[in-house]
Structures are given as C-alpha cells and as structure tokens.
Structure 1
Amino acid sequence: MIVLLPPSETKRDGGDQGAVLDWDRLSFPELTQPRQAVVSAVSELAGDTEAAQRALGISAKQLFEVERNRTLATAPVMPALERYTGVLFDGLDAATMTTDERSFAHETVVVHSALFGPIGAGDPIPAYRLSHNSKVPGLPLKKHWRVPASDALAGLGGLQLDLRSEAYAQLGAAGENSAYLRVVTAGADGKRVALSHFNKKSKGLFTRALVRAGIRHSTVDSLLEWANGAGFQLEHGAPGELDLVVENA
C-alpha cells in the first residue's frame, strides 16, 4: 500500500550541511528531467524578486521564500517527512517515530510536491516555495506534471490511498487501484459534510496510525477492517472514495 499526501506550504529550515540536492537520491528517477525543468525555472524566476513574489503569491514578509528558491541547488537537504511542517505533518509527528516506523513511512508514504512531483517520504530535499497554483512563466504546472506524475504513480501498482487535496491530485492521477479519502462529519440531518478545519489534522493522525501499525494493506476491505478496529470510522463513500468520519469539534 502507498499513502499519497499533499505537501505543505511551510517548510522547516536547515538540514544536512554536508549534502545538497542530488537527483539520484530521489525516488521515481524517471521524473528527473521534469524535476530539473521546474527547479531551473523556479531558480531563474527567483533572480527577479518582484516577479517571484507575484508568481508565488507571497507577501513582503515572506520574501525569504524567494531566497530559498534562489539557492535550491546549494541549500542543505533533509528527508521530506521532516522538511514539511503544518497541521497534517504535525499530526504525522515524524520526530517521535521509532526506527521501524520511520522505515515503514519511507517505504509507503509519497508526498506530491509541485516542485519535484511525487517524492518518497525519505527523499532528501531543500526548503522551497512552490504551490500547485504558482504561476511559473512558461511552465504551467498542471500541464507539466500531469502525464509524467500519473505515469510514475501508475508504475507503483498495489493499493494507493490518496489523501491529497483535489488541487494536488490534478497534478497527476493516482494509480488504477486507488481510493480517494475525504474527511467528513455527519450534519444534523445525517448527511455527510466535508470538513476543512479538521481535514489536515485528521489525515495526519490517520497516516500516523497507519505507520504505527505497519500493515501493507492490499485491498480496501483490509484497510476498512483495520481502521474500524483501530478506532477510526472509515467507510465507503462515493465510487472510488472512502469517508473518514470525524466529529466536528
């Protein structure tokens, strides 16, 4: 089983001072060429601070993000699982993982980056700023990533649990045997309502529980049986989807 996660706009600083971005250390080597094209375009864009600010949709207080993009090739790297911060990754809490849990996460968790496409949780990456809707001149991200990212994910095979936002899912389709997970709550009338505030937190906690259990589910039925035994209310939703039902509190 593979768990597909969205990235986070916020990143942790620092990393291994003795290592920089190395294409050969990233998962999905077939994506090296499209990755290099995006990194080159983003680095070049960072040479014009005002243009980069507009393209990234950031404020004057976030101009450090432009510097991050300017130094992509020389900045220190750290595993993606540790690089990303924010609500989802706080719930995943990589810092407290055991050696076995971290190894399992590195083997089963894939983060879909706008800069690098799909990457493994253990892939060493620098801090950067690029979102699914960033306007990189001459390089529309959806068009650039859709085919190569979809092909890369299709090549994984097996069950893929897709926790990405719909926006990141548009950068590349999950494999044929996939289930899209939605975080929902039951409204007063009993109808399912998608959550926004607790969406990322719930996905992070659910992924952490999957990593802790260390089970490679091959079918949705196996996943459902485990989830409900582990204290989660996971149910079939719309065709091809699963509903993670949580309390809206």
Structure 2
Amino acid sequence: MLIFLPPSEGKTAPDPDGTARLDLDSLILPELAEQRRTAVDALIRVSRQSDAQEILKVGAKVMGEVERNQQLWEAPAAPAHDVYTGVLFEALGAPDLSATALGRAAEKVLVFSGLFGATSFTDRIPAYRLSMGVDLSPAAGDGPGRLGGYWRGALAEPLRERVGDQLVLDCRSSGYAAAYRPHPEQTLVVNSFTEREGTRKVVTHFAKHARGELTGMVLRAEQMPETVDQVAELAAERWDVEVRPAAGRTPHQLDLIAAG
C-alpha cells in the first residue's frame, strides 16, 4: 500500500548551518528532474517580481517566505517530514516514528507539491511557498504554467508504474489529488466528519488532523494494512468508521466520524 499526502502550508526552514542543499537527482522519481528544475527556476523568477504576491496568491504576512523563494538553490535542505510542519504532519508525529516506521514512510509515503510534483517522506527539500493552484506562466519565461496541469502530465507515467496494483490511501486535498488519480478501485480516499445530534460537518482543521493521525497509525501498525477492510479495521480503533465502495469513477471512501 502507498500513502498519498498533501504538503503543508506551514513549513519549518532547515538549519541554516546545515550543509545539505537541494539536489534534484537525489529525489524520488529522478526522471522528473528537468520538470522540477523548470518549476524551481520559474518560482525564483516570479518571487523576485513586484507582483509576486498576486501571482502566488498569498497574504502580506507571508511575503517573507516569498522572499525566501528567491534563494531556493542556495537554501538549506532537510527531510520533507521535518520541513512540512502543518496540522497533518504534526498529528502524524514524524519525530516519534520508530526506525521501522520511518523506513516504511520513506518507502510508502508520497508527498505531493506544486514545486516538486511528488517527493518521498525523507527527500531533502528546502522550505518554500507555493501551492498547486498557482499559474507560474506570467512573466516567467518558459515557466510551467498552471501547476495542476503541469504535474498531471509529468506524473502520469512515473506514478502509474510506481503504484502498479497497490492500494493507495489518499489523504490529499482536492487541489493536490488532481495532479494524479490512481484507478478508483485501488484508491481509498480519507474523509473526516464531526457529528452532533445526527448532523455531520467537515471542519478543515480536524480533517487534516484526522488524516495525519490515521497515517501515523498505519505507519506504526505491527503489520501495515494492505486492503480497504484492513485500513478500516485499524481506523475503527480510533473513530466510528464507514466505508463507501468505489462506484464508477468514484474511489472507495473511508469516513472517519468523531463526536462534534
């Protein structure tokens, strides 16, 4: 089984005294090196423009992170699970993973991103600011354009081969899920709801936390689940669980339900 995660908006910049720098050839799926180089160079150019805030669709409070984009080739790099520090990754608890669980994560987890397409859990990357919904074509020369479509084309063949016939536990948000969709019959999408007096609602913060927590449970399991039923059985240790089977183009759905 593979696990697909989104990146986090919140990132922790690696130690500036570290010696590691971004090395595209060292990342998982090295055949994407040229596409990644195009995206990195375009982001650097855009981040230097006066209209960078508008193009990157960010608020004024994070313009410091946009300025940091300008030095991506020189910036220190660290394992992705140390750089991504948002709600999902906090709930996953990467610092507390055993050596066995971390080895599983390195092999089984793919983190999708607007900058790199997809990286492994342990690939060394710099902190950056870029979402999948951005169009990097304005004034960026030969930039990649709309990142969703750019990565959808680039990732199709490499991920088809990597996924093979494995089940994919899909914890991504919709914007990142659009970059690559495995066959519905081998995809289990994780949803999270709070329920109160029979009414269910989605709270984004809680949904991210639940997906991270479930990912951590899967990685720490004595034996990693490989089927929809096995994942649901594991999740039932923490939540009320409902499974909706795949139908047509709609993947299997795993609903995690917590009291509101």
Could you state the TM-score of these two structures normalised by the residue count of structure 2? 0.87
Q: Paired residues, what number? A: 246
The 1:207–1:172 alpha-carbon spacing in structure 2 relative to 1, beyond 3 Å, is same
The offset of 1:4, in angstroms, is 0.4
Equivalent position SS for 1:246:
strand
CA distance in 2, matches of 1:248, 1:38: 42
Unpaired runs of 5+ residues, structure 2, are 138-142
Aligned counterparts of 2:218 and 2:67: Cα–Cα separation in 1: 36
Match among 135, 150, 173 for residue 144 of structure 1 = 150
Aligned match of 1:181: 190
Which residue in the other structure is 1:116 paired with? 116
Query: Does the 8 Å contact 1:234/1:242 carry over to 2?
Result: no
Report the alpha carbon displacement of residue 248 of structure 1 after superposing the two structures with TM. 4.2
Residues 1:32 and 2:41 are matched in the alignment: no
Per-residue deviation, 1:227:
2.9
Aligned residues of 1:25 and 1:123 also touching (Cα < 8 A):
yes
Equivalent residue runs for 1:1-249 within 5 Å: 1-15=1-15, 17-48=18-49, 50-137=50-137, 139-156=145-162, 157=164, 158-175=166-183, 177-186=186-195, 188-189=197-198, 193-213=201-221, 215-228=223-236, 230-237=237-244, 239=246, 240-249=251-260
d(CA) in 2 for partners of 1:39 and 1:175?
30
Deviations 1:122-173 (A, max 9, x none): 0000010000222312511122111222333222221111110011111222
Give 1:205 deviation, angstroms. Answer: 0.9
User: In structure 1, how many angstroms separate the alpha carbons of the residues matched to 2:194 and 2:156?
Assistant: 30
Change (3 A) 1:188 1:56: same
Q: Report if the CA contact (8 A) 1:101-1:214 is conserved.
A: no
Whether the aligned pair in 2 keeps the contact of 1:112 and 1:168 (CA below 8 Å) is yes
Change (3 A) 1:238 1:197: farther
- Do the aligned residues in 1 keep the contact of 2:81 with 2:122 (CA within 8 Å)? yes
Distance 1:175 1:155 in 2: 12
* DSSP 3-state at the match of 1:224: helix
| 1:214 to partner: Cα distance | 5.0
Query: Displacement of 1:81 after TM fit?
Result: 0.9
Query: In structure 1, the residue corresponding to 2:67 is in which secondary structure?
Result: helix
Amino acid at match of 2:59: S
Unmatched 5+ stretches in structure 1: none
Q: What is the percent sequence identity of the aligned residues?
A: 35
Deviations 1:180-224 (A, max 9, x none): 11112445346x543423100111111111111153333212222
Cα deviation for residue 46 of structure 1 reads 1.8
Question: What amino acid maps onto 1:237 in structure 2?
Answer: R
Asked if 1 retains the 8 angstrom alpha-carbon contact of 2:235 and 2:256, the reply is no
Q: How many angstroms apart in 2 are the aligned matches of 1:186 and 1:150?
A: 37
RMSD of equivalent CA atoms: 2.0
Q: Retained in 2: the 8 A contact 1:183–1:199?
A: yes
Could you report, residue by residue, the CA deviation over 1:83-117 in whole angstroms, capped at 9, with x for unpaired residues? 10111111012122222221121111111011001
Distance, in Å, in 2 between the alignment partners of 1:93 and 1:59 is: 28
Corresponding letter in the other structure for 1:183: S
